[in-house]
């Protein structure tokens, strides 16, 4: 087994890229497109999302369970 050496900056990028942020906004159309083929029990989380309009576009904040499904190892 090989040892891999990474810098502190590389570690920071890895850790922050996999971090759930409850305040981050996602485009509603993007979330809807990604959930088209999702199981029914996942889609139910998308029905209650609060819409936030910003610059003429609609954004939503997603719960952690949706984040895990979309971007994590689900």
pLDDT tier for residue 20 given thresholds of 50, 70 and 90 = confident
Per-residue tokens: 18: 């996999």
DSSP-derived letter for residue 1 is -
Give Cα separations from 49 to 15, 34, 52 (angstroms): 26, 15, 9
Percent of the chain with pLDDT over 70: 91
Cα distance between residue 61 and residue 15, in whole Å: 21
Three-class secondary structure of residue 5 per DSSP: coil
The pTM of this model reads: 0.70
């Amino acid at each position: 087994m090989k040892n891999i050496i990474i810098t502190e900056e590389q570690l920071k990028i890895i850790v922050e890229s996999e971090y759930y942020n409850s305040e981050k906004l996602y485009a509603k159309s993007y979330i809807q497109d990604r959930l088209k083929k999702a199981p029914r029990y996942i889609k139910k989380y998308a029905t209650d999302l609060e819409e936030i309009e910003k610059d003429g576009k609609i954004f939503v904040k997603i719960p952690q369970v949706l984040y895990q499904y979309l971007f994590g190892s689900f």
